[in-house]
Amino acid sequence: MDFSLTDEQRSIRETARAFIEKEVIPLESEALQRERRGEKALTREELRALQAKARDFGFWGLGTPAAHGGADLPAITQSLVWTEVGRTFVPFEFGGETDNILFKADARQQEQYLTPSIEGERSSCFAVTEPNAGSDLTAIRMRARRDGEDWILNGEKTFITRGVESDFSIVIAVTDAELGYRGGFTAFLVDRAMGYETTPIETMGPSEPAAMAFDDVRVPHANVLGEVGDGFRLAMEWIGRGRYVIPSQAIGAAERLLGMAVEYATQRETFGKPIGEHQMIQAMIADSEVELESARYLVLLAAWTVEQGRDPRHESSMAKLSGATMANRVVDRVMQIHGGMGYTRELPIERWYREARLWRIFEGTDEIQRRAIARGLLSGRRRIGGHLA
């Protein structure tokens, strides 16, 4: 078994790392100050300027098909790049990307929604979660009623990432309750100008998701994404990609944090010697390294499964669960190693601490990942060690 990266993968990773270190990490101090004033860490204009610089490096549309001007990188290479992005808490992402299910759009929809989103001229959000439908997406209740050549949407969505600032939403609604989620959910492209309302939700972290209210919002039938009744499948396809992207970023954050802990442990002295010579500090550093490397290979396994054209759900659930929980344990240990200084706002550890906690909740909670993994084994759909078969 060969676990080494190809020369191309290594080159792309190192170029991404150089860009992040040169262009993004130096923005961290200002980003922290802005967030503490209640401002955005990066304005939309600043983000687009950074993305334009990255485009000159060749980073544009990591997963976007070449036919749409993207790099169309393989999943493993994308994972490596997202790991580098995760090394900073500045909310940066490479441009040329959009919601993966937007590629299901027809020609007119591509012109109005897909292409402008890829170019950064428009921004989207994915609206599926509701007050009583979080982990259980089959429980959504937002209704869409056909009215001639339009659909009338009524209901609520909540905790929608980018919901406040997006220009349009991909909304999953019930179009036929009798068919249930397998054929009764439909995806709609809904412009903000069509009339939905958004309210920001304050959280303990830097993210500011939105509550969204739809009161007789009229959407043309031409704005159905995919086919009527295909909404649940599209929703699961959208969520599935995040289950190896999120832990990829968590690995990058854990790498940076563990590096801070190692550096601090060699400099800080107690009882006349560096704290790194104390066994309890060594144990925290060692445990973090073991868990970090374990999560890394589960994430790469999930990405490899995607590249092989296999069903990646089992591996992706393991990667999401492992990466998210690992990063939370690592940031907690790093704070402990730094002692009181780690708890202050003088260092960015507390900032990562708050953000990392979200990774165990959104796009599939820890409990949902465990449920998916266990059901795969108990049903016989998956064999223990099946990826080696």
pLDDT at 242 over 70: no
Task: Check residue 362 and give its pLDDT.
Answer: 87
Tell me if residue 270 falls in helix, strand or coil.
Answer: strand
Q: Is residue 184 within 8 Å of residue 174, measured between CB atoms?
A: yes
User: Considering the chain, what percentage of its residues have pLDDT values greater than 90?
Assistant: 86
Residue 107 maps to a domain: no
List the one residue out of 280, 201, 256, 352 whose CA is nearest residue 20. 256
- Reported as a pLDDT band with limits 50, 70 and 90, residue 300 is very high
pLDDT at 137 over 90: no
Q: Are residues 218 and 262 in the same domain?
A: no
Residue with token string 């980073």: 59
**Distance between CA 94 and CA 164 in Å, rounded?**
21
pLDDT at 55 over 90: yes
**Distance between CA 213 and CA 8 in Å, rounded?**
47
Q: Tell me the residue range of the domain where 287 lies.
A: 233-388
List the one residue out of 251, 257, 258 whose CA is nearest residue 301. 251
Stronger pLDDT, 363 or 386, i.e. the higher one: 363
Q: Are residues 280 and 332 in the same domain?
A: yes
pLDDT tens string 21-39? 999 999 999 999 999 998 9
Q: Specify the CATH number for the domain of residue 181.
A: 2.40.110.10
**Distance between CA 136 and CA 129 in Å, rounded?**
9
Q: Is residue 161 within 8 Å of residue 171, measured between CB atoms?
A: no
Q: What DSSP state is assigned to residue 346?
A: S
Which residues does 178 contact at the CB level (< 8 Å), separation at least 6?
Answer: 184
What's the average model confidence in pLDDT over 33-58? 92
Residue 113 maps to a domain: no
CA-derived radius of gyration, the chain: 22
Residue 115 maps to a domain: no
Residue 131 maps to a domain: yes
Residue 246 maps to a domain: yes
Q: Are residues 255 and 383 in the same domain?
A: yes
**Distance between CA 154 and CA 94 in Å, rounded?**
34
User: Considering the chain, what percentage of its residues have pLDDT values greater than 70?
Assistant: 99
- Reported as a pLDDT band with limits 50, 70 and 90, residue 2 is confident
Q: Are residues 213 and 348 in the same domain?
A: no
Q: Total structural domains in the chain?
A: 3
List the one residue out of 289, 284, 270 whose CA is nearest residue 334. 284
What's the average model confidence in pLDDT over 269-288? 96
Stronger pLDDT, 135 or 149, i.e. the higher one: 149
Q: Which of 130, 255, 315, 363 is catalytic?
A: 363
Residue 108 maps to a domain: no
- Reported as a pLDDT band with limits 50, 70 and 90, residue 389 is low
Q: Are residues 160 and 175 in the same domain?
A: yes
Q: Are residues 355 and 282 in the same domain?
A: yes
Q: Are residues 223 and 282 in the same domain?
A: no
Q: How many Cβ atoms from other residues are within 10 Å of residue 84's Cβ?
A: 26
**Distance between CA 21 and CA 87 in Å, rounded?**
9
Q: Specify the CATH number for the domain of residue 339.
A: 1.20.140.10
**Distance between CA 326 and CA 332 in Å, rounded?**
10
Domain boundary among 204, 229, 254: 229
Tokens standing for 55?
């485009």
pLDDT at 357 over 80: yes
Tell me if residue 215 falls in helix, strand or coil.
Answer: strand
Q: Is 363 a catalytic residue?
A: yes
pLDDT at 1 over 90: no
Domain boundary among 97, 114, 133: 97
- Reported as a pLDDT band with limits 50, 70 and 90, residue 106 is very high
pLDDT tens string 142-195? 999 999 999 999 999 999 999 999 999 999 999 999 999 899 999 999 999 999
Task: Check residue 158 and give its pLDDT.
Answer: 95
Domain boundary among 208, 229, 250: 229
List the one residue out of 283, 277, 377, 288 whose CA is nearest residue 325. 288
- Reported as a pLDDT band with limits 50, 70 and 90, residue 243 is confident
List the one residue out of 167, 66, 156, 55 whose CA is nearest residue 121. 167
Angle (CA) 33 37 41, round 5°: 55
Q: How many Cβ atoms from other residues are within 10 Å of residue 104's Cβ?
A: 18
Q: Are residues 208 and 149 in the same domain?
A: yes
- Reported as a pLDDT band with limits 50, 70 and 90, residue 57 is confident
Strand extents, DSSP E, the chain: 124-127, 143-147, 150-160, 168-174, 185-191, 197-200, 210-220, 224-225, 269-270, 273-274
Q: Are residues 245 and 366 in the same domain?
A: yes
Question: Left if phi > 0, otherwise alpha if psi is -120 to 50, otherwise beta: which for 188?
Answer: beta
**Distance between CA 145 and CA 152 in Å, rounded?**
5
**Distance between CA 116 and CA 189 in Å, rounded?**
14
What's the average model confidence in pLDDT over 216-231? 97
Residue with token string 């190809």: 6
- How high is the mean pLDDT of the chain? 94
Question: Looking at this protein, which amino acid is placed at residue 11?
Answer: S
Tell me if residue 282 falls in helix, strand or coil.
Answer: helix
Tokens standing for 17?
């790392």
Q: Are residues 174 and 249 in the same domain?
A: no
Task: Check residue 328 and give its pLDDT.
Answer: 98
Q: Specify the CATH number for the domain of residue 65.
A: 1.10.540.10
Q: Are residues 244 and 372 in the same domain?
A: yes
Task: Check residue 205 and give its pLDDT.
Answer: 87
Residue 53 maps to a domain: yes
Q: Are residues 170 and 202 in the same domain?
A: yes
- Reported as a pLDDT band with limits 50, 70 and 90, residue 133 is confident
**Distance between CA 246 and CA 78 in Å, rounded?**
12
Residue 118 maps to a domain: no
Tell me if residue 102 falls in helix, strand or coil.
Answer: helix
